Structure formats: C-alpha cells, structure tokens
Amino acid sequence: MKRAMICGISGQDGAYLAKLLLNEGYEVIGTSRDAQMSSFHNLERLGIRHQITLESMALNDFRSVLQAITRYCPDEIYNLAGQSSVGLSFDQPVETLESISFGTLNLIEAIRFTAMPIKFYNACSSECFGNSVNEPADETTPFRPRSPYAVAKAAAFWEVSNYREAYGLFACSGILFNHESPLRPERFVTQKIVSAAYRISAGSSEKLHLGNMSIQRDWGWAPEYVMAMYLMLQQEQPDDYVIATGETHKLQDFVAETFACFHLDWSEHVVISQALMRPTDIMISKGNPQKAIQKLNWQAEYRLKDIVQMMALAYRA
C-alpha cells in the first residue's frame, strides 16, 4: 500500500485529493498546524475523516517537518498548505510569504536531507503569470506576479525547480488556474456569490457587494484538478504542468449564471464596491493545458455553467 502525505488537507483541494487517493488504495496522512484543534469540516463533509491519519506539523519549522516525514516515510507528498487568499495576502504579506515559500523550502530540504525516494507535488498558481492578455499562459510563459500571494507562489515554484535540477528530486509543480467546488469557503468570491444568491432567493433583502466584475478567469472543477495532481506523480519523469480548462469568462458571467440558477436577476441585487478593489488585479487570466492533455492524458470536462450549477445544487440539497 502506498502512503501519501497531504500538507493542507483541511482545504478544498486537500479534501478532494484525500478522497481520490483513498479510492486509489493509498494510506493517507493529513497534516495541519494543529491537528487536535482543527475541525476538518471538509473531510467530514466527504465522509472520509476517520479513514485518514491526522498529524500536527508546522511547515515554517524545519524540525517539525523533518519529524513528520521520518515518522511516516511517505511515498508521495502533496504540498497544498499555506495562506490561500490573494486578497488577504495584501493585508498579510509576511504570513503569506512564510507559509508558502518557506514552507515549501522546508519540505523539499527535508526530502533532500533524508534522501528518501519521495515524490513531491507543489501547488503553484496561475496568479504567477499576471495578466494573460495576448496568448493563453503555458509552461514557458514568464511569471509577472501582481500580489504578495503570487510572489510567494512564484518563489516556491523556483525552489522546486532548483531542487529538481540540483539534487535530482522527483518534484513537480502544478500551475493551477481557478478551480471551484461546494467546499470553497466564503472568502473566495465564487462561494460568496453562490451563498448570497441562495440567501436572497430564500427571502434575504441583502445586497451582494463585489469589486471589479469585468475581470476574466479560467474556472475549473476542483475534483478534476486534484486528479491532475495525482497524475503528475505517476509519471516516469518529474515536470511542471499548467492545469486549466482553456476557456475564460468574466466575473459578471459567473454572477449572472449563479443568480439565474436561483431564478433571480443579478442586476437587482449586486452593488459594486470600491472598497473591494485590489491595489493590483489581474484583468485576464487564461491557461493553455495542452501539455497536460498530451502528457498526462488529462482534460477538464466541466465548464463554467456546469460548475455554477453544481455549486448551486449543493445549497438546494
């Protein structure tokens, strides 16, 4: 039985990945800064909480990381941990940099130090590309990060690349574009939109406050994207991959589709708020997943309308 360690198992991707790996016959170790105090609500929601061994591990503490890795000797490590909000990173830049770039460095350094044959996956982000104005971003597109979150993710990407080249580690980065699900917390705009539309449809008189609705994003379905993570570590050679649908839509399209699911006219319930505008924002984000399609045999099946409907359905259930 293979053993996988998921750092950041309490989040959306960690929960879906844990379910996938359990279905593949893995023993799953999930880490969190305080496994005794965390609720692991997403694992409970997927019905897998008691099938997973949970371990406390502080990614910014090399000793803690080393102890966890030597205790469990995993075959694969998936690093999904760290501060995950682009907006929050402007308010907490130090925490963002430390949790993402330092945490990633501690993991790969521990793998190098122990010389264990561990395959390592690093969660990178499309935010690293900045604006994709002309061509969809692929693995050769230069990084131009426009937030502290993106800066931290870019640093972690190059750490992984360096350790792969310098020490021969089987280390990959998945450069994932936006991917959503009912497990998203409400600090993410997609879940904020769906939950507000649901409450308004149930009689709430509230208004939904949003920032720039003309931004364009490539939105995918999270359970599909964790399959791409898994496939990266099943290859003969480590490499980096862009994971995306290849389609972009305006935030306004997401809003309109969501409110339509609840039989509402979005224009009657949405207010544009200047307070929600970011200091720097990505206007257009679009990805080219051709390498993943060709080498991983992975391709996104669900598109914007499907994603909105599945997220809305979770509120009706």
Please give the structure tokens belonging to residue 225: 């994207």
Does 72 qualify as catalytic in the annotation?
no
What DSSP string describes 172-223? EEEEE--EE-TT--TTSHHHHHHHHHHHHHTT----EEES-TT-EE--EEHH
Does 125 qualify as catalytic in the annotation?
yes
For residues 179 and 15, what is the distance between their CA atoms, to the nearest angstrom?
14
- Which of 262, 158, 153 shows the shortest CA–CA distance to 202? 262
Q: Which residue in the list 84, 99, 125, 195 is annotated as catalytic? A: 125
Q: Which amino acid is at 105?
A: L
Q: At what angle do helices 148-167 and 103-114 cross, to 10 degrees?
A: 10
Q: Which residue in the list 121, 149, 163, 198 is annotated as catalytic? A: 149
Q: Which residue in the list 127, 159, 180, 224 is annotated as catalytic? A: 127
Residue 89 CB contacts under 8 Å (≥ 6 apart), including other chains: 83, 96, 147, 148, 149, 152
Q: List active site positions.
A: 125, 127, 149
